[in-house]
């Protein structure tokens, strides 16, 4: 359940947000949405795949954290064992909403920071947690960071859509055939994940390649392909459990 | 090489002309460094008829091969998914009399004939619902795929219902923008032969002479080259299929979110039947009838009754009358001209055979494209043999829908069952099927327009009785059949739980589009 409201420094002045990691905050998940501008950091830790939104059929980017729903192999208690944690995890329980979502292109959609009041991260009690506002109602340094993070995330979501559209229009996306065998002998095959077809990428017309390069998409496409190698590390994590 | 075929000229810009242009141009582009040129000449003043708004599943590969995005096609041609046909009141004429001809084959059809198992059972559920999930999907108005299913892929096999007028415009843009088809808008004023009797050129009013090595006549009912010019005789089949008139009308939906039927509904009338096809923005409905068995005003009244409209209300929707001459030319390819579409022939739209014939004609020309004039004779002979066979099979298959009726409430149905009106080839098959259910070997060609499964769906949908084998069914046969029926049951449950309403999927496709993979 969620109860998302626009953040304001009156009614939310005394709220705190818990920033620890943990399954109790919904982090025991095997897929997490990610954005293109964090790929550089992500691919050093996680396999990053393309998935389809079951409700819209649209492609999005996801980091693979485990092999079945609810399995996050990077998370042990309150420790997330990685140098980099995806922005969608770190932004919780904040998001960006729009006062005027129907605005035409170029018009101000009235972006506001929103807060999920039902999130277990939100508390008024003293027990740890970061204040959002000081007693005068000014943003705390923590809130400042949240705001910057959300800015990056929003920009990232837009460039991700553009990136995936280019990949799709150039016919560069292919199903990723992931067959894994665990130490237990168990074999599994994963469907519904997609990646970049590097053969097709190499054979792309010169002007398309240049165009992709200028937008940074070429590098991102290779990162995506290379990140599939992280599946082996993910299997190791699973075997060590 | 002697006299290579370098250019194709297509006469006519309806669906037949553009499907042919797109199929050939895409093929040439794929295969050749210097593609054969494709030119389409279209009269600016001849309105296109827009035959049938229903297709066969073949249209998926036809469009895919042309490089059309399925999402664009669905958005721009008001397309709905078609999962087969529901035939109402064909057997007994009662209100609740219906059966389905779905597009999904019976479970395990490649290797196992479930018909004998079903015939030996209690026949509590209809044949189609016993052996395949699609009747349930249609009855629940569910789409044949998900928004996450790639373009042209299916969860349950499907074809399309489309707006034929929009479709030719859509294909025209695709063919001229992406496939290099030359489009000439001009009136053809003369057809000129060379000394050997081949077509040498088409004279036009505003675009000069148009020359080509192969001419494709897609000029519709006028059949300007094959019929008018070459006088290839027309072979009527009105003695078998009596339908010779149609009243067609476009019917708006009650509201924007009215359900869209995901199958063609064909409802038998006194002396014909009514088609009902759901597009995104309207239904296409029409009454086809035999003018020897009823008259236009009665047909009009029955159409109004079907639509639950008063006669003046129906009149306001603008009913079009279309004469139908059932039959086809004695041959389709003559000298350096081949006819595709209505210029080759036409049959009542009972099983959406018009567009599928266009597709397989264009495909055969593309695949066996004559490299030279000398080779053309051989290809033409093959083409004529193949399509004569196909027309005969389609006529048999359409007639099958009529001969199995138990209706005796009008001369139309009685006359249809008169053996004198049933082709011998069909009579022979019906004799065979009294003793054994249709199976792959009953037909000559590797690829049939209608597979043995289609005959099974019609026969057992209409209560035809095939004698049980005198030797009974072996335990292993029954075991396998049980297993297949269980598989079908499980698949049906999964689909009913997972698929969404037809209209909802169409809306999503219009909003988001389908992915290519």
Q: DSSP letter string over B446-503?
A: SS-SS-HHHHHHHHHHTT--PPPPTT---HHHHHHHHHHHHHHHHHHHHHHHH--BHH
Which residues of chain B lie closer than 8 angstroms to A192, CB-CB?
148
How many folded domains does chain A comprise? 1
B222 and B171 assigned to the same domain: yes
B307 and B337 assigned to the same domain: no
pLDDT tens digits for B374-408? 999 999 999 999 999 999 999 999 999 999 999 99
B385 and B400 assigned to the same domain: no
B336 and B196 assigned to the same domain: yes
B33 and B117 assigned to the same domain: no
B253 and B348 assigned to the same domain: no
B414 and B457 assigned to the same domain: yes
Tell if the CB–CB gap between A57 and B517 is shorter than 8 Å. Answer: no
**Catalytic entry in B64, B65, B82, B501:** B82
List, in sequence order, every residue forming a beta bridge with B329; answer none if it has no partner. Answer: B234
Q: Please tell me the predicted confidence (pLDDT) of residue B1.
A: 44
Nearest CB neighbour to A168, from listed B149, B508, B516: B516
> pTM value?
0.92
Q: Please tell me the predicted confidence (pLDDT) of residue A101.
A: 81
pLDDT tens digits for B407-439? 999 999 999 999 999 999 999 999 999 999 999
B281 and B259 assigned to the same domain: yes
Residue labelled with tokens 């066969």: B56
What is the full DSSP assignment across B28-41? HHHH-SSPPEEEEE
How far is B394 from B174, CA to CA, in rounded Å?
A: 31
Q: Is residue B283 part of a domain?
A: yes
pLDDT tens digits for A129-171? 899 999 999 999 999 999 999 999 999 999 999 999 999 999 9
Q: Is residue B114 part of a domain?
A: yes
Q: Is residue B83 part of a domain?
A: no
Low-confidence stretches of chain B (pLDDT < 70) are 1-2, 48-52, 445-447
Query: Does the structure show a pLDDT above 90 at A128?
Result: no
Query: Does the structure show a pLDDT above 80 at A216?
Result: yes
Which residues of chain B lie closer than 8 angstroms to A196, CB-CB?
none
Of A57, A164, A172, A195, which to mutate for an interface test with B (greatest number of B Cβ within 10 Å)? A57
Q: Please tell me the predicted confidence (pLDDT) of residue B126.
A: 96
Tell if the CB–CB gap between B508 and A56 is shorter than 8 Å. Answer: yes
Split at pLDDT 50, 70, 90, the class of A107 is confident
B223 and B334 assigned to the same domain: yes
Which residues of chain B lie closer than 8 angstroms to A175, CB-CB?
517
Residue A13 contacts B where some CB pair is shorter than 8 Å: no
Nearest CB neighbour to B517, from listed A53, A55, A175: A175
B334 and B214 assigned to the same domain: yes
Q: Is residue A115 part of a domain?
A: no
Residue span of the structural domain in which B177 resides: 7-53+163-237+326-391
Q: Is residue A103 part of a domain?
A: no
Choice between A107 and B286, residue whose per-residue pLDDT is larger: B286
Q: Is residue B133 part of a domain?
A: yes
Nearest CB neighbour to A52, from listed B148, B508, B511: B148
How far is B222 from A42, CA to CA, in rounded Å?
A: 66
Q: B414, B448, B406: which is closest to B92 by C-alpha?
A: B406
Q: Is residue B130 part of a domain?
A: yes
Q: Is residue B156 part of a domain?
A: no
- Judge contact between B455 and B437, C-beta under 8 A: no
Q: Report the CATH number that the domain containing residue B28 is assigned in CATH.
A: 3.50.50.60
Angle at CA B138, nearest 5°, toward B137 and B139?
A: 95
Residue A60 contacts B where some CB pair is shorter than 8 Å: no
- Strand-strand pairing, A48-52 and A59-64: antiparallel
B387 and B312 assigned to the same domain: no
Residue span of the structural domain in which A201 resides: 21-94+140-240
To the query of whether residue B82 is one of the catalytic residues in this protein, the response is yes
Q: Is residue B70 part of a domain?
A: no
B351 and B222 assigned to the same domain: yes
Percent over 90 (pLDDT), chain A: 79
Q: Please tell me the predicted confidence (pLDDT) of residue B48.
A: 66
Tell if the CB–CB gap between B515 and A174 is shorter than 8 Å. Answer: no
How distant is the alpha carbon of residue A5 from its chain centre? 22
Q: Is residue A202 part of a domain?
A: yes
Tell if the CB–CB gap between B148 and A57 is shorter than 8 Å. Answer: yes
How many folded domains does chain B comprise? 3
């Amino acid at each position: 359940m969620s109860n998302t409201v626009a953040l304001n420094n009156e009614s939310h002045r005394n709220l705190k947000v818990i920033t620890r990691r943990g399954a109790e905050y919904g982090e025991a998940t095997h897929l997490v949405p990610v954005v293109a501008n964090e790929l550089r950091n992500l691919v050093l830790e996680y396999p990053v795949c393309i998935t389809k939104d079951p409700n819209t059929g649209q492609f999005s980017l996801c980091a693979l954290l485990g092999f079945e729903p609810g399995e996050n192999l990077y998370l042990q208690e309150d420790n997330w064992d990685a140098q980099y944690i995806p922005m969608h995890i770190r932004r919780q329980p904040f998001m960006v909403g729009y006062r005027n979502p129907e605005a035409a292109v170029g018009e101000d959609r009235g972006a506001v920071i929103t807060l999920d009041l039902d999130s277990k991260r939100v508390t008024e009690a003293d027990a740890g947690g970061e204040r959002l506002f000081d007693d005068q109602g000014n943003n705390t340094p923590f809130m400042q960071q949240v705001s910057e993070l959300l800015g990056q995330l929003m920009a990232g979501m837009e460039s991700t859509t553009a990136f995936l559209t280019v990949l799709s229009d150039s016919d560069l996306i292919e199903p990723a055939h992931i067959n894994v065998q665990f130490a237990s002998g168990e074999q599994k095959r994963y469907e519904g994940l997609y990646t970049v077809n590097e053969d097709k990428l190499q054979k792309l017309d010169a002007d398309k390649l240049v165009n992709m390069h200028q937008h940074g998409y070429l590098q991102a496409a290779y990162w995506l392909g290379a990140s599939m190698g992280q599946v082996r590390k993910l299997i190791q994590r699973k075997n060590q459990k | 090489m002697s006299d290579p075929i370098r250019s194709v000229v297509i006469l006519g810009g309806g669906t037949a002309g553009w499907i042919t242009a797109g199929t050939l141009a895409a093929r040439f582009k794929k295969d050749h460094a210097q593609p054969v040129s494709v030119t389409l000449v279209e009269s600016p003043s001849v309105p296109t008829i827009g035959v049938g708004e229903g297709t066969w599943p073949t249209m998926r590969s036809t469009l895919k091969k042309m490089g059309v995005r399925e999402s664009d096609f669905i958005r721009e041609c008001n397309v709905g998914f078609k999962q087969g046909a529901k035939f109402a009141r064909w057997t007994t004429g009662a209100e609740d009399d219906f059966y389905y001809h779905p597009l999904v084959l019976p479970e395990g059809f490649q290797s196992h004939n479930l018909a004998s198992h079903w015939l030996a059972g209690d026949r509590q559920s209809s044949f189609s619902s016993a052996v395949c999930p699609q009747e349930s999907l249609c009855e629940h108005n569910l789409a044949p795929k998900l928004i996450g299913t790639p373009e042209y892929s299916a969860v349950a096999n499907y074809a399309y219902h489309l707006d034929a007028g929009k479709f030719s415009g859509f294909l025209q843009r695709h063919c001229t923008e992406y496939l290099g088809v030359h489009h000439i808008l001009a009136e053809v004023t003369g057809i000129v032969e060379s000394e050997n009797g081949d077509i040498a050129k088409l004279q036009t009013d505003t675009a000069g002479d148009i020359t080509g090595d192969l001419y494709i006549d897609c000029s519709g009912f006028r059949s300007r080259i094959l019929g008018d010019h070459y006088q290839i005789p027309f072979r009527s089949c009105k003695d078998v299929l009596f339908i010779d008139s149609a009243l067609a009308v476009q019917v708006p939906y009650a509201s924007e979110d009215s359900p869209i039927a995901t199958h063609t509904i064909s409802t038998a009338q006194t002396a014909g039947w009514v088609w009902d096809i759901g597009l995104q923005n309207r239904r296409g409905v029409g009454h086809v009838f035999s003018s020897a068995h009823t008259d236009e005003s009665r047909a009009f009244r029955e159409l109004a009754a079907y639509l639950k409209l008063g006669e003046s209300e129906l009149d306001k929707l603008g009913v079009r009358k279309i004469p139908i001459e059932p039959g086809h030319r004695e041959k389709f390819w003559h000298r350096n001209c081949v006819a595709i579409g209505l210029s080759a022939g036409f049959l009542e739209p009972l099983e959406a055979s018009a567009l599928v014939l266009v597709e397989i004609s264009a495909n055969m020309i593309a695949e066996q494209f004559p490299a030279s004039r000398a080779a053309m004779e051989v290809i033409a002979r093959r083409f004529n043999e193949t399509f004569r066979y196909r027309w005969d099979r389609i006529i048999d298959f359409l007639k099958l829908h009529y001969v199995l009726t138990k209706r005796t409430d009008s001369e139309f149905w009685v006359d249809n069952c008169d053996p004198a009106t049933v082709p011998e080839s069909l009579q022979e098959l019906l004799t065979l099927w009294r003793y054994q259910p249709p199976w792959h070997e009953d037909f000559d060609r590797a690829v049939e327009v209608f597979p043995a499964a289609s005959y099974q769906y019609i026969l057992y949908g209409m209560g035809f009785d095939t004698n049980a084998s005198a030797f009974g069914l072996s335990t292993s046969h029954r075991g396998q059949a049980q297993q297949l029926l269980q598989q079908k049951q499980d698949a049906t449950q999964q689909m009913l739980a997972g698929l969404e309403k037809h209209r909802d999927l169409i809306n999503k496709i219009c909003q988001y589009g389908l992915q290519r993979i």
